[in-house]
Structure 1
Amino acid sequence: MQGVQQFLSFAETARHGSFAAAARELGSAPSTLAKAVSRLEASLGVKLFHRTTRQVSLTPDGERLYRRCERVLTEIEDLHADAAGTRATVVGTLRVDMPIVYGRRVVLPVLARLKAEHPGLELDLRLQDSFVELVRDGIDLAVRIGALQDSTLVARRFDSQYLLLCASPDYVDRHGIPSTLAALEQHKAVLFRMPSSGRDRPWQLVQRGKAVNLQPRSELRLNDGEALVQAAVLGLGIVQLPSVMVDDELRDGRLVELLPSLRPLPMPISAVYPSQRLLPPRVRVLLDALTALGVTPPPPRPKTLKRRGSPPQ
């Protein structure tokens, strides 16, 4: 049976994506880790990493072994902490991946409170709207919006997000209020171009209890969510945005919600993390703090808007 050190060398290299970064974490030399991993590969008869001059990435065999190693090493760390009387101590680096706007407005304040409560906690935060591979990128926890694909990750739903059709009062004055899906298609749409694919994100609606995807024609596309909010406030057209992005604008009247009867079902917001029997305290406290937020209630249905202005041309 191989020594634990070889598996530890492998697991840290997988977590950091390079021998150099793993060596800094373990206080060792990169060449020492590389030799330990090579010996492990030789003894197991499988290739664990794809190697380049700058980084390493897991092979399918490596991913399976890493998931097993993570569970075992977590239990060892937990036993060590328990014996040392520090089981409840929240220390170490917490690596979190989250969507840009939701992360900035909802998750970051939670992390700030945790940092104040646990001075030994270090934060490594990535805000982006594309998905990352948690194991490959060494992420402890990711916040994801929408339906989750089947995977080996564990998911805990803790919130919901609502998509709203919005426009400025000035736009409503000039172009009128759409009352049906067919009328909506005749209005000016401001669309979000998804950075990951370069495609326009369709509007998600519900009509007669059935989900509908609408791909409206548009003369304006943006790849930034907050710019989309500003475009709507400036009267450039109708947008569909998460409620967390337009709460302030709806509250102070700079935007109004349109066609609330077509509002789609809320999208789940989940915390996902690698499958582990025992979670490190740093991850456990974040999960508990997110769960304690409670699910965001649906936005109130707006009062019936008076039909102002002429119908769209």
Structure 2
Amino acid sequence: MIVTVTPNPALDITYTLAELRPHASHRVDTVHEQAGGKGANVARVLQALGRRTAAVLPLGGASGAAVKADLDRAGLSSLTIPLAGGVTRRTVAAVDRDDATMLNEPGPELSGPEWGALVAGVRSLLPTAQALVLSGSLPRGVRPEAYGELVRLARAQGVPVVLDAAGPALTEALGSGPAVIKPNAAELRDATGIDDPPAAARELAKAGARTVVASLGPDGLLAVTPAGTWRAFLSPAAAIRGNPTGAGDAAVAALAMGLADRTPLPQALNHAVALSAATVHAPYAGMFDRRAYERYLTQVQILPA
């Protein structure tokens, strides 16, 4: 089983429209709501790949109830932490024919006992876990080193951790030794002040991450490990139009699956690039085009860097 933790989940609302123009009124073609947040997206991808998962997330209010109902409809196993007064945030993705524009609410503040309940929930699942995924922002009221606490908890039970976070939530957890971190290029730069992605990734590896896998957008993935550095990308390069929301979460799902199965990293990178690209073809986060995924698996190039 792969456990995913989403400390700041959301009710994802997706509007599709012909064209998004600033400072204008728009007629929306379709509206879709589903359980969201990065860890929820990871769990959805893993389930589609036939993997057993458990999603841990705090929920509150009407939007939290809608998230729980959607998880249940999708058949996703979840361990939910009830919020006494907080209300689960919403995110809005406005998707046109070229790209997506995101509007993310900040989310509720978690009390000390609520965070303690989340930690206890994770602890209860670790004995049967093959990997732990920690994804997304930390809620208000939770200290920046909170992810580090969960990494140490998992490592004490021999469970490898994939951490997908930014800012202090990322940097404060590095010393705890996550097996894989997955920043994007902007998060690499923000965390290190270094513009060159390989150099920035090496700095984060020195700070405690055993493997750094960085998303470079259309340029694929950069992986820095103790055994070497690789770039993984589609060849020939393809201009993929669609909804990129959740593409990084699909890559995280592949990396977590690789850790659970003890797959060599180059093979895991192959799946991460192909899944990430196939997600752009799907209408909503946490979903992917299976035919595109299978096609892209044959088109990924992995080269030493």
Task: Name the TM-score, length of structure 2 as normaliser.
Answer: 0.25
Task: Name the TM-score, length of structure 1 as normaliser.
Answer: 0.24
Q: Rg bigger for which structure? A: 1
Relative contact order (C-alpha < 8 Å, sep 6+): which is higher? 1
